[in-house]
Amino acid sequence: MEGSTIDPTTVTSVGAASLGEALRRTAAAHPDLVAVRTLDDSVSLTWSQLRGRVDALAGGLARLGVGRGDTLALMLSNRPEFHIADLAAVTLGAAPFSIYLTSSPDQIQYVVGDARARVAIVEQAFLGRLLDARRELPELKHVIVVDPESDEDAGYGLLSLAQVEGSNPSFDVDAALAAVTPDDVATLIYTSGTTGPPKGVELAHRNILGAVYSVQEVISLPPGARVISWLPAAHIAERAAHHYIPVVYAATITTSPDPRAIIQTLPQVRPNWFFAVPRVWEKLKAGLEAMLAAQPEEARARVEGALAAARQRVALLQQGAEVPDELEQAVAAADEAIFSNLRTMLGLSEVVTVNVGAAPTPPDVIEFFHALGIELAELWGMSETCGAGTVNRPGAIKIGSVGPPSPGVELRLAEDGELLMRGACVMRGYRNRPEQTAETIDAGGWLHTGDVATIDADGYVKIVDRKKELIINAAGKNMSPANIEATLKGSSPLIGQACVIGDARPFNTALIVLDTDFGPAWAKQQGIADDADLATLSRDERVRAAVQQAIDGANERLSRVEQIKRFTLVEGDWLPGGDELTPTMKLKRRPIGDKYAAAIEAMYEGH
C-alpha cells in the first residue's frame, strides 16, 4: 500500500489527567499544527488558536453559570464549533452531551431534562425543535445559537455564540481547570436504544483517557494524522475516534457536516485513520461493483480475475497457509496496475489503519477490502466502555472476529456465554439510575455487556448477538438474527437492509430493503428502469427474482434452521433515526415488528 505522508515525529498528551489538560499539552507541543478545519478551509484553526477559542468560550459559559459538575447540551452537526464547545465545557469541569440531530421535541426534552442542563448550544437548523422542547424544560435558562439568522431573536432571549465567547476576559480558566479531577464526568452518552428511553452513560475523564491512551499500543497516530469528523457526535464512536483521540495525539480533524456525503469526502481528505459503520463499507463495495458492472467486458473480466486471485491470497493468509509465489506475484502486479488506483479513487491510499464496528459486518465485505489492499479491521466496544473493548491489530486480523482485548481490558465469559469486561475505560454508571448501574456492573467491577460471544485459543472474540435479541424458534433452537442478516446483506449489493423474523415461529422470514444506490443502478443496467425509485423497484418481479437468487445463495451458507424461507420486499428505504433504525443504524426490532405486523403475518399464512 502507498506510504503515508504524515509527520513521523510522535509527541502526544498521554499522561494528562483531564481532557482540558490534554488540550493544553497538545497546544503547547504543536501550536501551529492544524487542529480542526472545514472541507473548504473557510475555518482552519491551529491547536493554539483552538485553545484560545476554547478558553474564551469557557469564560463566557462560566459567566452564564456553567461550572464543575454541571452539564451542557449540544445540538450541533459536524462543525468546528462542536469541538470548541465540548472542550470549553470539560475545561470548566462540566459534562457536555450531544443530542441526536434527528430527535423529536419530546426526545430532546427527555435527555435535556434527565441531564438537568441549564445551557444549550444549538445551530439554527435544529433551533425550532429545541425551542419546542424548552417549553417543558424550566431549568434550561440559556440557549446559544452558533449561526443565528439575525442578531436578535425577539421573544426567546437567545444568545449568539459570538455574544458569549470572550464575554468574560477576566475569568481564571487555569484555576477552573486545576479543580477538575480524573473522576469528574467528562460527557454523557445517551444510548440510542432499540427499546425504551435512552440511558445516560456517565464517562469520567479517567475512563475516556484510559481508552484513548491504549490506542498508541495498537496503531501509531503521529501528530498531523488526518481524520474526518462525520458520525453523530451523540455516538461514542464519533467522540472517541474524531474528538478525544485527536486531542491527545494531535491529529487534524476535518469536519464533514453531511454524513451522506462521506464517500465523496474521503478523496478530499485522504484520511490516515478512518472508522465507519458496516453500512458505509457495504456502500463502498456496492459502488465499486456497480462501476465494474458498467465496464466493457474485457476490462471487467480483467478486474474480476485480479479480485479472484487477491481473494484467494486473503483466504490462504487467513488459514495460515503459504501463498504460492506465482499467486503472490500475480496479486502484486494487480495491486500496482489496478488496486492502487482504486484505493486512490476511494481516498484510502494513505490510511494507516481502517476500522469497522457498531454492528456485525459481513465477512465477505471485509475480505473484499483486504483483497484491494485495504486491511479493514473489525472492532467492538460500547458507550459504556468509551468505545473500547476489542480490536483487530494491523497485520494480525482474523476476519469474522472483532479481535483480542484492547490494551488494559480484561474479558471473560459468563456461564451463559455473555461477555464480561473490566478495565479503566468502563463507565462510572448510568445517570440517575443506580439500580440499573448495579445490575450492569457487578461487585467485582465486571461490566455485563449484554452480548453473547465466544473467545478462541488466541484470545480473539466473536460476537454472537445481543443476549436479548437471540431468536428462539418454535422448536427451541437458538440463533443470531444479526449474523443471519449480515449473511443476507453479504450475498448481494442489492440488499441494503434485512430484518430477520423467527422468534417463536416455525421458520425464519425476512423483511428486505433494497440498496438506495445499487438498486436503481442495477435496474438501469438490466434494462428494467432508467429512473425508478425503491418503491417501484420493490414491486418488480425481476428485482424480486434477483433478491430471491441472493437469498438462495445466503441460505447455502446458513444452517437449515437459520435459512430464510420467505421474504417481503419493503417499499422504500429505512433511514437512520426513523421508524426502523436508530441514529447509529441499529435495527429497532420491536417497532419494526409492530409497523410491519401485517406483512410479517402474511409470510406465515398457511403454516
Do 404 and 490 lie in one domain? The reply is: no
Helices and strands: H and E segment counts in the chain:
23, 25
Q: What are the grid coordinates assigned to 186, written together? A: 467528562
Question: CA quadruple 253, 70, 425, 281: dihedral positive or negative?
Answer: negative
Lowest mean pLDDT among 424-433, 464-473, 536-545: 464-473
Do 167 and 299 lie in one domain? The reply is: no
Do 227 and 355 lie in one domain? The reply is: no
Once rounded to an integer, what is the mean pLDDT over residues 146-169?
79
SS3 per-residue string spanning 94-110: CEEEECCCCCCHHHHHH
pLDDT of residue 422: 93
Cα 176 from Cα 84, distance rounded (Å): 17
pLDDT in tens, 378-412: 999 999 999 889 999 988 999 999 999 999 899 99
Cα 260 from Cα 534, distance rounded (Å): 17
Do 454 and 495 lie in one domain? The reply is: no
Torsion of CA 421, 398, 376, 227, to 10 degrees: 30
Q: Give residue 12's pLDDT band: very low, low, confident or very high (50, 70, 90).
A: low
Is position 70 within any domain?
Answer: yes
**For residue 575, what is the domain's CATH number?**
3.30.300.30
Last residue of a domain, one of 258, 276, 294: 276
Is position 558 within any domain?
Answer: yes
pLDDT of residue 4: 37
Q: Among 257-261, 289-293, 597-601, name the most confident range.
A: 597-601
Q: Give residue 192's pLDDT band: very low, low, confident or very high (50, 70, 90).
A: low
Q: Give residue 7's pLDDT band: very low, low, confident or very high (50, 70, 90).
A: very low
Does the pLDDT value for residue 413 go beyond 50?
A: yes
Cα 274 from Cα 279, distance rounded (Å): 14
**Cell 492502487 -> residue:** 340
pLDDT of residue 5: 39
The two beta strands, 159-160 and 71-75, are: unpaired
Contacts of 399 (CB under 8 A, 6+ apart): 314, 318, 363, 366, 367, 370, 378
Q: What are the grid coordinates assigned to 158, written together? A: 437567545
Cα 182 from Cα 176, distance rounded (Å): 14
Do 107 and 240 lie in one domain? The reply is: yes
**Cell 459538575 -> residue:** 69
Strand partners for 36: 45, 253
Is position 4 within any domain?
Answer: no
- Cβ 108 vs Cβ 75: under 8 Å: yes
Is position 342 within any domain?
Answer: yes
Do 53 and 197 lie in one domain? The reply is: yes
18: three-class secondary structure by DSSP: coil
pLDDT of residue 80: 97
In our burial notation (b when 16+ CB lie closer than 10 A, e otherwise), range 127-140 reads: bebbbebbeebeeb
| Better-predicted residue by pLDDT, 274 or 357 | 274
pLDDT of residue 249: 93
- Whole domain around residue 571: which residue ranges? 472-603
Q: Give residue 578's pLDDT band: very low, low, confident or very high (50, 70, 90).
A: confident
Q: What are the grid coordinates assigned to 354, written together? A: 481502517
Task: Give the CA diameter of the chain.
Answer: 77
Is position 407 within any domain?
Answer: yes
Do 437 and 523 lie in one domain? The reply is: no
pLDDT of residue 599: 92
Cα 330 from Cα 327, distance rounded (Å): 5
| Strand spans (E) along 386-505 | 389-391, 410-413, 418-422, 429-430, 447-455, 461-466, 471-472, 478-479, 495-501
Secondary structure percentages of the chain, helix, strand, coil, to 5: 40, 20, 40
**For residue 141, what is the domain's CATH number?**
3.40.50.980
- Cα–Cα nearest to 246, from 376, 80, 98: 80
What type of residue is 265?
T
Q: Give residue 577's pLDDT band: very low, low, confident or very high (50, 70, 90).
A: confident
558 burial via Cβ count (<10 Å: 0-12, 13-18, 19+): middle
44-46, strands of its sheet edge to edge: 44-46, 34-38, 252-255, 226-229
Is position 11 within any domain?
Answer: no
Is position 63 within any domain?
Answer: yes
Do 157 and 223 lie in one domain? The reply is: yes
The Cα-based distances of 365 to 292, 373, 377, 605 in angstroms read 16, 13, 11, 35
Q: What are the grid coordinates assigned to 314, written together? A: 486473503
pLDDT in tens, 55-67: 999 999 999 999 9
The two beta strands, 71-75 and 119-122, are: parallel
pLDDT of residue 340: 94
The two beta strands, 200-204 and 185-190, are: antiparallel
**For residue 450, what is the domain's CATH number?**
3.40.50.12780
Is position 360 within any domain?
Answer: yes
- Cβ 68 vs Cβ 184: under 8 Å: yes
Does the pLDDT value for residue 10 go beyond 50?
A: no
Last residue of a domain, one of 276, 291, 321: 276
68: three-class secondary structure by DSSP: coil
461-466, strands of its sheet edge to edge: 410-413, 418-422, 447-455, 461-466
Do 447 and 478 lie in one domain? The reply is: no
Ramachandran quadrant class, 347 (left: phi over 0; alpha: psi -120 to 50; beta: rest): left
Does the pLDDT value for residue 27 go beyond 80?
A: yes
Does the pLDDT value for residue 171 go beyond 60?
A: yes
Do 377 and 268 lie in one domain? The reply is: no
Cα 323 from Cα 341, distance rounded (Å): 24
pLDDT of residue 337: 92
Does the pLDDT value for residue 430 go beyond 90?
A: yes
Question: CA quadruple 74, 76, 81, 82: dihedral positive or negative?
Answer: positive
Do 522 and 375 lie in one domain? The reply is: no
Q: Give residue 113's pLDDT band: very low, low, confident or very high (50, 70, 90).
A: very high
Once rounded to an integer, what is the mean pLDDT over residues 498-508?
89
Count of domains forming the chain? 3
Last residue of a domain, one of 434, 467, 500: 467
Do 307 and 432 lie in one domain? The reply is: yes
